[in-house]
Structure 1
């Protein structure tokens, strides 16, 4: 299967299926000397693991990570880092029925058309559990970026019709509610909305927002390797993501040049800074030194217990009610996945950018 690798210098390859023996990732291109142990990675995996609230699948998995290679005496060695999480709580029989039909909103039909065969247990390679490898790799990428002064603030911006308020924004609230919303009132309203969805055997979508601070100007390239294009590919490669925005995003279609352009001034350090950030930290495909602001639109969980129409492999039209253990909303668990893919993209851009200028090479090799 092609398409399981992402990146150029800092490169990740995820592997595994939802109901196989395990899932994991191989991370290549990580510099030697980065302090790293399982706890660094586990903290990230704990943010996406199932069974933490009534708004996630009841599948119980510790998602405990093991480092198989690339780390010695607590530091990376510069060789490929292999990470594994073993599946412990598969209930494959819950999915035996769907082998004969195509679930609405899933990859069942397209997988069959491409390969002529599919692992129907929990979606196989198309399952949300594939993101375990992304998050494990993202933990490494974030640690690299943190050492360079680059930080992330990622959270749920909206769930269904409920959005956070800028007046009530409180970053401390993100980890205080199961929906990862930085607004206590919005979180409470969103929980009530989700309870209504659950009562109707339905699900909901939402939006994840990620703010990245401390990114230096000049990352990315002006044509096919634009930073915003690579961030879009990274985030859109997450199975549940159906939309992506940088900065003002689709609202720029309603703007004019006067109110969309970000004026420049000279900052306290003598360098140019912007007075606004409609561009979301990227100009001409390259970072401009201001906060990078991106958003991902997450679709409602397609596996719902309410009756739906579909067809089976015999060409018959049938009604189905999806059985098994499923999230009524994907958004809260997707927060760390969006952050991880953005981090992997930025690390790769940083490493690629080191060869962009002769003075950078001279400074690195002659001093």
Structure 2
């Protein structure tokens, strides 16, 4: 795998994204209500052409967008990422009719997408999901309920953009007791009868909720990909987005590091500047070292994805694991070096401290990533024997 470095156009684009995020997106984010979809912010992302790039760019560009936006406006980064996560299965596996109906609206920011995989008893163990797709009519027919072939019954939880999304990529069990097999992905519009939801009050400010499915009708026209092979849809989406979760984390780490550099260079302490204390200087160096190492692994994984490498699952897991754990460390150390001021509501680091915790859990917790890495390593060894 060749070393990754930005070319001049990429560098300029990242600088432009940071400026746009600070000048145009952050004011909209500040007007939003925590825990709710900020439709004005999403619409602005659409006007800027950033949402359309979710479907026209590769993994490296996705990472560049997420890192650059996260540096200046985490809310804008998250809004963009959630549109991509919810809509990518439609882009990659949808029928022409599904794509024509939803993707233009996702791209212009007028339709909110959501990825509904996790359940109350199936978070990290996604293969244990229990939302049931129970057989209805044998084939779609002209009935008032849309001609349901299945009815979805059960719950989803910890779903970003729920319950305010306009449609959900929903993963349901079509073969009981089959583990990762026997799961089907469905595109479910939010106005389907029997689909309800509630918001959850979470540590981070972006919208997360729970969904309840009470015999929600779906037909063959709603299937994404192949029947009983929806887990591949889920894992394919996560293999793309896991490195970019790492990019989100790197953006937060870089913002915390830059704030720390400014603070320690200006802060008077013990007869000099805070940066003159060896313990402080060494701590800042460690923060920078870990941030750069995480960045390199993120973009190596993204490059592997774009080049169609065979070890993408391992690299994606490594990138997410290292970057999210690194960001937690860097932000925590930044808070420590800033002191009490960093704990005051509204301070950049207070905001980052709340934002940085969740990525170590969602889209596969750190423990899950370690399991994936080990599984891939042993599989590679066995294949070589």
Fold conserved (TM > 0.5)?
no
Structure number with greater CO (CA < 8 Å, separation at least 6) is 1
More helix by share: 2
More strand by share: 1
